[in-house]
Amino acid sequence: MLPAGVDAPSSFETIGHIAHLNLRDEQLPYRHVIGAVLLNKEPHLRTVVNKLGSIENEYRVFDMAAIAGEPRLETEVTQGGSKFRLDFSKVYWNSRLESEHLRLVSSLPAAGVLVDMMAGIGPFAVPAAQRGLTVYANDLNPSSAAYCALNARLNRLGSGLRVFNMDGRAFLRLLCDTPGGPAQELRERAAAAGAAALPPSAPAAAPAAAADAFLDAFAGAFDPATWHERPLPMVHCYTFKRAAETEADILAKAERYLGGPLEPESVSVHTVRDVAPNKLMLCLSFRVPRVVAFRGREHAA
């Protein structure tokens, strides 16, 4: 059904009843035919969309067009026993990260706390709360925050998952700041809802593409009087590595964002997946260095 020289798409992403394609220029004139054939071959699908461009907005959402089936972009997916509802046109979602969501969550202490600076609709936050962690989930995108709260209800998490909608850097600083300061508002909101207080040993995850650029938020974010005798949080952040780069280059980049050296004994690097030829997605984990955490606030200890 396609002319010579035009290949059919070799792969696509499935999000519930939606198939997500990224068609090449030569395939675009035949997009409706491609979509119809896909619906015919995959009876569980109801909608086929094509990505129209790269992600260029602060919410990590790309433009798309429905090319076949029903123009219905709210769907539901299941990952590892967790249910997620989302509108694919309004929030970020990547089904190919399922194994990474499960890997990271399984590595967290079951009685701990997760602070998710860029939580999306909850792919880390929801299963972490199901494991028994107290979770503080934040996203700048109002739609993502709303779906994260909805998914907390769908999975019957009660007060174990608290959702916020604000800038990630501001969210982190509020949670880590001096008791009685701006953080008190968030703590009081959580306490009023019956959530456990945020302990100072909370691990923090920042799942987002190139989230290493947000590491500067940790500089001077911690109150020395509260944290000086306590272990600082573990951070899990995502970055990309090109073929010409080494692991040492990735660590040096993280240190530039932090504005200080990492503590080698706390550092680990996990390869998540290939995202393009000669480009890897990595998860960098480390404990917040004390020299970074207390920068400019040492006199308060």
Binding-site positions for S-adenosyl-L-methionine read 101, 139-140, 167-168
Give the closest residue to 295 by CA, choosing from 260, 263, 256. 260
Per the DSSP assignment, residues forming a β-bridge with 281 are 240, 273
**Residue 180: helix, strand or coil by DSSP?**
coil
Amino acid identity of residue 16, one-letter, is G
Give the separation between CA 87 and CA 64, rounded to whole angstroms. Answer: 12
**Residue 191: helix, strand or coil by DSSP?**
helix
Token output for 175: 């949670």
Per the DSSP assignment, residues forming a β-bridge with 276 are 279
- Angle (CA) 44-207-162 rounded to 5° is 90
Residue positions forming the annotated binding site: 101, 139-140, 167-168
Tokens 């701006």, residue located: 182
Per the DSSP assignment, residues forming a β-bridge with 280 are 241, 274
Query: DSSP assignment, residue 3?
Result: -
Token output for 57: 């907005």
Give the separation between CA 222 and CA 202, rounded to whole angstroms. Answer: 12
Give the separation between CA 193 and CA 211, rounded to whole angstroms. Answer: 30
54 neighbors 62 (Cβ within 8 angstroms): yes
36 neighbors 68 (Cβ within 8 angstroms): yes
